[in-house]
Chain A
Amino acid sequence: MSRKTLLALGAGIAVLLLFPLFLPRFYVYLVSIILLYGLLATSLNLVLGYGGIFQFHHAVFYGVGAYGTTLMLTKTGLPAMLAFIAGPLVSAAFGLVLGIICIRLSKLYFGMLQISLGSLVWAIVYRWYSFTGGDDGIHGIPMPEMLSSPKSAYYFTLIITLVSLFIMWKVIRSPFGSVLQGIRDNPVRSEMIGINVRRHQLLALVLAGFFAGVAGSLFVVVDNTVFPDMLFWTLSLEIVIMCLLGGWFTFLGPMLGAAVIVALRTFVSTYTDYWALVLGIIMMLVIFFLPSGILGYVEEKFKRGFIEPEIEEQ
């Protein structure tokens, strides 16, 4: 990282730390939601953009994490912090199980089977009234004292999101991350040079599941509710669009995409019920006119103008 990017990053974090002091409560809530969706989209991008795995039903892991945390909080007397760890762990376990079933299949098969099995999870949550609250979900989840105000929930979300993003960034920069991208670009050759392709992909799926679960737990902290729509397929599509819109070959693209989509959804839903229609149209526009996403586009432009300095740095 250059000094400029570090400075920009530091400034961004400073803004995020300070702004709740000046803006009304609604915006604090909105930014919390954006942050956790950004985390969710980034976790998807770990497997979709960097791993080239067609994980089309990512919302399942988000929902499972949220339900895991919630059920621990409401049904057991264990300490709350334990619940926040348990949710993501359950998600990771789900990632492992679904991964083991699906990973043997080729790309499109994987995507289709993943959508189908994910929908089964949704259907079970939707129907299992006695355990998950069925289609009503669970409301008014009790929070520990220190997380009960919107501001504290915001700071908790901010810190956890930043830490998770940092870990994912490290993972992508690690040898494991390089291997993962190598597999994405050429699975056959990777296999040839002795890489265990499936094991690497499986580990990526588990990691993605874990961080999606973290995002789910954060939603419980911010909103104090869970509902089956969190595992519904439309949400998964929304996450895919976030990655695509922001630029899925860039690390921060999904976060940017999440900010745009969440802000737009909040804005559009005050006017109309037809959010899915708007979302679909946005998706089409992105596919046709901005296939590498906002950040990808900016990067292309930027690189075209400043090619020489970059070579000098190396």
Chain B
Amino acid sequence: MDAVYSIIPAGVLSQVFVGLSRTTILFIVASGLTLILGVLRIPNVAHGSLYMIGAFTAFTVTKLSGGGSAGFWMALVIAPLAVALISLIAERGMFQFLYEREHLMLLLLTFALSLVFGDLVKLVWGGEYKSVPVPHIFQGFVPLFGGLPFPRYNLFLLFAGPVVAILLWLLTNKTKMGKIARAAAVDREMVGAVGINVSRVFATVFVIGCYLAGLGGVLVAPTVSVTLGMDHNLIIEAFLIVIMGGLGNIWGALLGALIFGLTQSLGILIWPKFGIIFPYLAVVVVLLFRPTGLLKSTW
């Protein structure tokens, strides 16, 4: 491993790993966003709020179960489902009535939902910072590359990302539901014409996408302080990732998340105060050369 150090300084290497763990979260959330974009063609602005609700629900679940490791695993199951339920209610109660109307109205409805969800979270959980404990088996550090300490939990995240990616790939390519959804993304009228209930397909895709937002929220909860405003930051990042990768393309979301996570974590090394501008620069550069994103958009 000395050879690695002679090329890359330890600080840079550890930032790369920090960036990669961030990439996992970003990918999980952005893949949900891009799934909804690809099939329903709405940039779900409320996606960030659902992510925040996922994180806050994880806080409540772990707290209610006594703050132990089991609480986290329970949260990992319950919170995304709770978010999925909320999204199902929103979809059946509101969205489905707008599919036939002007497209912009759907988009504006997600705006409205993001405002409402944001304030509801404030109403239910209050404005203070919350923290979710790291589950017991992931506490502490593992030495990487000859002694560089790396949080175990982040290692867990690094495994979680590819697992989600593979599951999503299986879902969209190997199941009947996924195939119908992909067909609906290309030509929804034709899918309706052959006798498939498009509205139900939309609902399913929407709920799965929102489930992923909730999952991202739970996974991020132990690594950050759970707070109001985390929705806004994330939705912006997810938007940029999806734009970079190509709207509706799940592998594009992975690639975009990778670029975003790495430029963000390495940018902080270069310019601590304004490190946030580097991912944006990356997006602008990508769009200069490929205005429709790096990978093929489903649009």
Contact = CB atoms under 8 A, between A and B. Distances in A.
A117 B102 CA distance: 26
Contacts of A111: 43, 107
Contacts of A54: 104, 107
A127 B108 contact: no
Nearest to A120: B280
Main SS of chain A's interface residues?
helix
A41 to B, nearest CB: 15
A286 B280 CA distance: 34
A8 to B, nearest CB: 30
A113 B243 contact: yes
Nearest to B235: A115
A283 interface: yes
B111 A240 contact: yes
Given A105-B291, A274-B119, A112 B242 contact: yes
B41 interface: yes
Chain A, interface size: which category? 35 or more
Contact of A116 (B109, B113, B122, B283): B283
Given A120-B280, A291-B101, A127 B273 contact: yes
A105 B122 CA distance: 36
A94 B148 CA distance: 44
A287 B101 CA distance: 10
A108 B114 CA distance: 18
B119 A123 contact: no
Interface in B117-172: 118-120, 122-123
A101 interface: yes
A105 B287 contact: yes
Contact of B105 (A101, A277, A280, A287): A287
Contacts of A117: 280
Contacts of A273: 122
Contacts of B277: 120, 124
Contact of B291 (A104, A120, A233, A287): A104
A280 B242 CA distance: 25
Nearest to A109: B243
B186 interface: no
Interface of B: 41, 43, 94, 97-98, 101-102, 104-105, 107-109, 111-116, 118-120, 122-123, 232, 236, 239-240, 242-243, 247, 273-274, 276-277, 280, 283-284, 287, 291-292, 299
17 contacts: A101-B284, A101-B287, A106-B299, A112-B43, A112-B243, A116-B283, A120-B276, A127-B274, A233-B232, A240-B111, A276-B118, A280-B116, A284-B109, A287-B108, A287-B112, A288-B97, A291-B102
